Chains A and B, each alone.
Chain A
Amino acid sequence: MSHNAYLPKLGRIAAIKDEVPGNRAIKTYQIEFVSGDGFEHDCGQCAMISVFGKGESMISIASAPHVTGYKQFSIMKTGRVTTALHDLNVGDIVGVRGPYGNKFPVKDWKGKNLVFIGGGVGLAPIWPVIQTALHHKGSYGKVSVFYGGRTSRDLMYKADLDKMREQADIHLSVDAKEDGWKEFVGFVPSNVKDKAPSPDNAIAITCGPPIMIKFVIQNLKELGFTDDNIYTTIENKMKCGIGKCGRCNVGKDYVCVNGPVYSWAALKELPPEY
């Protein structure tokens, strides 16, 4: 008898960190499996998190596969389930099922330079790839990270990014001028254009608001990145996570199974219904 895919495992919230305050607050959760029978995951995969009585949400796993003690999730407060998650405390138990979806082809990227471009909470889905690349430092080329938010308060993982500066080029940005901000002022795509990372032997990985992704891709192409060297992730409303409920269906794909990771070459082939 195979395991019932709808039945979640139980996860205990081991740590909660406030990343971004305000109406669209972001908190980072470290969740460890209650009975130790968790699952392994690959970069880019997601998990369904349950708050019983409220529902389930598909969230990308923000920790790297080599981190085994817990799974990390950075969650923005947007609706019923995420608001309930934001009300939880350390020690509270949630449901976790997964891992779902495809993965970033990180093994194919050995020896290549990696350019990460994130906006807002969109740093979370690409975070495990950044961590993996830095963890196996010798296997990959140069790592650069472009990351921006509306204001400096909207940036998450700030301490981690600062620590990372020795190992990677970190290019932060905020949308508008603010006191004490020494880095780039402007939108993320402009920062990318400004720093002009070289497309030679490089892969660009981007995630963020749809409008940001659109212009990032445009700018990357101007810089000479080809469609199959640009990767992004998409999201759609999901319920089952296992390719049955039909909600995330786009073209022949079910994003929960065939996505969320797409090369721009592949994504272009899908109807723009995400």
Chain B
Amino acid sequence: MIDVAAIKAHAKALLEKGTVRAVIGYRNSTAGLLAEPFVFTGPESVDDLIYGPSCVQNLALYLVNDKKERAHHKSDDARPVAVVAKGCDARAITVLLQEKHFLREAIHVIGVSCEGTGVVDTKKLARKLGGKHAVEIDFDGGEAFAVTTADGVQSLPAAEIMAERCLECRGAHPQLADIAFGEAKTDRALHTPFQAVKHKMKEEQDNRWSFWARQFDRCLRCYACRSVCPMCYCEECVVDSIQFAVLPDTTAEEKANRIKWIERSPNRSESAMYHMVRAIHLAGRCIDCAECERVCPVNIPLRLLNTRLEMEAFETFDYNPGSDMNAPTLTSSFKDTDPNSFIR
């Protein structure tokens, strides 16, 4: 079991000593069961810090946002920022480090192991509870979650209400950490990695198309999947309506000639382009935190799309994103043994 008090004590000490600017962590939300990402800046604020199965968000995103914000405010505080990181969050941070998004010494990683479990899937939980609303969820030993509803507390097997990505997780213990809480469990006998993708790949091509066409039709283009993704840090995205990087010497022609690759209309073809571009851009970078899928208000199975190339990276190119910050990235490297027979 994770010792939350110890995490708090560590965070508090960091802020008291002033060794970090802030601690990015979780606190309780007023909006519902799930935690809310929060930036703790004073030692006393750390009293609100929580950790549990409701801490689903990938906090690596807030390191990216922190960098943007610091640039905006021209902050010159050079101290590192601390971040609470699960296994998947730490993998995301590793990819960001690998891409030189920030320096290793600019962050202090408070690693937290998911041990034998992971985070909750609220949709699964809702189904499990029938009509009842859960108001609190916590770890209950190594393999169960304690769920509080109006009727009291009940213990539910974690495997039944855990997020799919946690069931398929290949790195539940953060590899990258300045300090780690919880133990590394090697015997997580849950699902086989890439199980969902492989299952979908067995379907007929036409059926796969009908499936994805329907999903592209349903897309709202709210861009929550992009906004929540720590890897989607581009200053300007192909779907944005105008050029963001406008400098004093940017000419009118440059702005006028900006290519509109994708129309704003939520049509099947345009939304397909959007999701495909994202999936390709995530090749070798997606660390399967599945936040894109979780945040989608209409439940488009984006994890399925984005882990397809992860499977390829892992099985064909022996590449595991987020495992080595010093390795060359998937698409900036090659091997002589790469597949060649598909080329005419």
Contact = CB atoms under 8 A, between A and B. Distances in A.
B251 A79 contact: no
A79 B243 CA distance: 10
Given A23-B252, A79-B252, 19 more contacts: A23-B251, A24-B252, A54-B256, A77-B252, A78-B252, A78-B255, A79-B242, A79-B255, A79-B256, A80-B256, A80-B258, A82-B252, A82-B256, A83-B252, A83-B253, A83-B255, A83-B256, A84-B256, A86-B252
Nearest to A54: B256
A131 B258 CA distance: 38
Interface string A33-77: 000000000000000000000100000000000000000000001
Interface residues of B, number: 7
Contacts of B252: 23-24, 77-79, 82-83, 86
Interface of A: 23-24, 54, 77-80, 82-84, 86
A86 B251 CA distance: 14
B264 to A, nearest CB: 12
A82 B242 CA distance: 14
Contacts of B251: 23
Nearest to A23: B251
Contacts, number: 22
Nearest to A79: B255
Contacts of B255: 78-80, 83
Nearest to B256: A83
Task: Pick from A24, A54, A80 the residue with the most CB of B within 10 Å.
Answer: A80
Nearest to B249: A23
Contacts of B258: 80
A83 B253 CA distance: 7
Nearest to A77: B252
A79 B256 CA distance: 5
A231 to B, nearest CB: 29
Contacts of A86: 252
Contacts of A83: 252-253, 255-256
Interface string B252-265: 11011010000000
A86 B255 CA distance: 14
Contacts of B256: 54, 79-80, 82-84
Contacts of A80: 255-256, 258
12 contacts: A23-B252, A54-B256, A77-B252, A78-B252, A78-B255, A79-B252, A80-B255, A82-B256, A83-B252, A83-B255, A84-B256, A86-B252
Nearest to A86: B252
Contacts of A23: 251-252
A130 to B, nearest CB: 27
A166 to B, nearest CB: 37
A115 B217 CA distance: 58
A254 to B, nearest CB: 20
